[in-house]
C-alpha cells in the first residue's frame, strides 16, 4: 500500500492544465486507494496527453517505489527534479527512495537539505530521524525529534517517533511522556496505547500496563502486537491460562511472524510443555533458518 501521508496525496499543482486536472485527481485517488495498476495506467494516459506534467511522472515514480523498484523510482524522480528543482515533494520522494534503496547516507543529506530549505515541512524531520535510526545513530535521531516536537507539538507522529527512540535508549519515563502526548492527540490509536503499555510495563507497573493493553484491544481486537505483548505481561504475572490465550491469538493472526511464534514457544517451554514448544521453535527455524 502507498504511504498516504506523502505530500503527493495532499496537493495537485495549481499549474496543472485544467483539461487534465480532473484526470490527475482521479489518478491520485486510485493511487491513494492502493489500486496501483489502475493508477499507473491513469498516470501514463495523462503523460500521453501532457508529457510535461511532472505530477503524473512523480506518481509513476511513487508506484515504482511501492512495488520495490527503487532504481526506476530514482530515475523518474531525478527527471522530475531536473525539470522543477524547487519542488519540495519531489525532493522528499528522492530522500525516501534513497532510504528504501539502502542508501541512508545519501538520504540523510537529502533530508537535512530539505529541513534547511523548508523548516516548516514536517515529513523531512520524521524521515531524517528514521534515517539516523537506520544508521544506528539513535541519540542524534532523538535530538532531531526533540527539536521537531517543539516545532510541531500537535503532530502525533512526531511524539510517537520520539517515544520509540527514547524507549530504545531505555529512557522509559521520557518515552511514557512522549506517548502520552501522542495519545492526547489521538486517544483511539491502538499503536500508541500499545507503546505506552510497553514502557509502563518496563517501569514495573504491570496492572496499569494491563489496562492499556485491554483498552487497545477494545479498539483493535485483532491487533497481533497487542495480543503478544499482553500475553507476555500476563505470563510474567503468573496468569498462564490467559497468557496462553493471547500468545496463541498473536501467533494465529501472524502465522509467519517470528516474534509471535518465538514468544509462544518460550512460554510453552516455561510451562514444561516441551513437545509443543519444539513445534513452534521449528516453525521459527523454518521461517528463518
Residue 12: pLDDT above 50? no
pTM of the full structure: 0.84
Q: What pLDDT is recorded for position 1?
A: 54
Residue 81: CB partners within 8 Å, gap ≥ 6? 87, 90, 91, 94
Q: Where would I find the H helices in the chain?
A: 18-32, 36-49, 54-66, 70-83, 88-100, 104-117, 122-134, 138-151, 156-168, 172-185, 190-202, 206-219, 224-236, 240-253, 258-270, 274-287
Confidence band for 13, pLDDT divided at 50, 70 and 90: very low
Does residue 20 surpass a pLDDT of 80?
Answer: no
26 pLDDT tier (thresholds 50, 70, 90): confident
* Banded model confidence at residue 25, pLDDT cuts 50, 70, 90: confident
Q: Are 112 and 121 in contact (CB under 8 A)?
A: no
Q: Is residue 81 classed exposed, middle or buried when 0-12, 13-18 and 19+ CB atoms within 10 A define those classes? A: middle
The answer to whether residues 40 and 58 touch, using CB atoms and an 8 Å cutoff, is: no
CB 148 within 8 A of CB 125: yes
Contacts of 174 (CB under 8 A, 6+ apart): 166
d(C-alpha 198, C-alpha 228), whole Å = 11
Bigger pLDDT: 289 vs 261: 261
pLDDT tens by residue, 74-127: 999 999 999 999 999 999 999 999 999 999 999 999 999 999 999 999 999 999
Q: What are phi and psi of 271, to 5 degrees?
A: -85, 5
Q: Inform me whether the pLDDT recorded for 16 exceeds 70.
A: no
pLDDT confidence bin for 10, thresholds 50/70/90: very low
CA angle 191, 168, 249 (to 5 degrees): 40
pLDDT level of residue 14 (50, 70, 90 thresholds):
very low
Q: Out of 46-50, 148-152, 182-186, pick the least confident.
A: 46-50
Pick from 28, 32, 30, 38: nearest CA to 3: 32
> According to the per-residue pLDDT averaged within each range, which of 3-7, 13-17, 46-50, 206-210 is highest?
206-210
The mean predicted confidence, pLDDT, of the chain is 92
188-228 pLDDT, tens per residue? Answer: 999 999 999 999 999 999 999 999 999 999 999 999 999 99
Q: How many CB atoms lie within 10 A of CB 151?
A: 12
Q: How confident is the model at residue 49, as a pLDDT?
A: 85
In the chain, the domains with their CATH numbers are 1-93 (1.25.40.10), 102-148 (no CATH), 156-221 (1.25.40.10), 223-289 (1.25.40.10)
Tell me how far apart the alpha carbons of residues 109 and 212 are, in angstroms, rounded to a whole number.
39
State yes or no: pLDDT of 166 exceeds 70. yes
Amino acid at each position: 500500500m502507498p504511504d498516504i501521508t506523502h505530500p503527493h496525496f495532499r496537493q495537485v499543482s495549481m499549474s496543472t492544465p485544467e483539461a487534465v486536472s480532473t484526470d490527475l485527481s482521479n489518478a491520485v485517488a486510485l493511487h491513494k486507494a492502493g489500486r496501483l495498476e489502475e493508477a499507473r495506467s491513469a498516470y501514463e494516459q495523462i503523460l500521453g496527453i501532457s508529457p510535461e506534467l511532472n505530477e503524473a511522472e512523480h506518481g509513476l515514480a511513487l508506484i515504482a517505489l511501492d512495488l520495490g523498484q527503487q532504481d526506476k523510482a530514482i530515475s523518474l524522480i531525478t527527471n522530475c527534479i531536473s525539470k522543477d528543482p524547487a519542488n519540495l515533494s519531489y525532493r522528499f520522494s528522492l530522500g525516501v527512495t534513497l532510504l528504501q534503496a539502502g542508501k541512508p547516507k545519501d538520504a540523510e543529506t537529502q533530508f537535512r537539505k530539505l529541513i534547511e530549505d523548508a523548516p516548516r515541512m514536517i515529513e523531512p524531520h520524521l524521515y531524517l530521524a528514521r534515517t539516523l535510526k537506520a544508521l544506528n545513530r539513535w541519540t542524534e535521531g532523538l535530538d532531531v525529534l526533540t527539536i521537531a516536537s517543539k516545532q510541531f507539538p500537535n503532530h502525533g507522529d512526531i511524539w510517537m517517533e520520539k517515544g520509540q527512540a527514547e524507549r530504545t535508549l531505555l529512557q522509559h519515563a521520557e518515552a511514557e511522556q512522549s506517548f502520552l502526548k501522542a495519545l492526547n492527540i489521538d486517544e483511539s490509536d491502538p499503536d500508541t496505547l500499545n507503546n505506552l503499555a510497553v514502557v509502563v510495563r518496563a517501569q514495573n507497573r504491570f496492572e496499569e500496563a494491563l489496562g492499556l493493553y485491554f483498552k487497545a484491544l477494545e479498539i483493535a481486537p485483532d491487533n497481533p502486537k497487542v495480543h503478544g505483548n499482553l500475553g507476555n505481561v500476563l505470563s510474567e504475572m503468573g496468569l498462564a491460562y490467559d497468557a496462553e490465550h493471547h500468545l496463541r491469538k498473536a501467533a494465529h493472526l501472524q502465522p509467519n511472524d517470528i516474534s509471535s511464534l518465538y514468544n509462544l514457544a518460550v512460554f510453552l517451554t516455561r510451562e514444561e510443555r516441551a513437545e509443543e514448544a519444539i513445534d513452534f521453535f521449528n516453525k521459527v527455524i523454518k521461517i528463518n533458518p
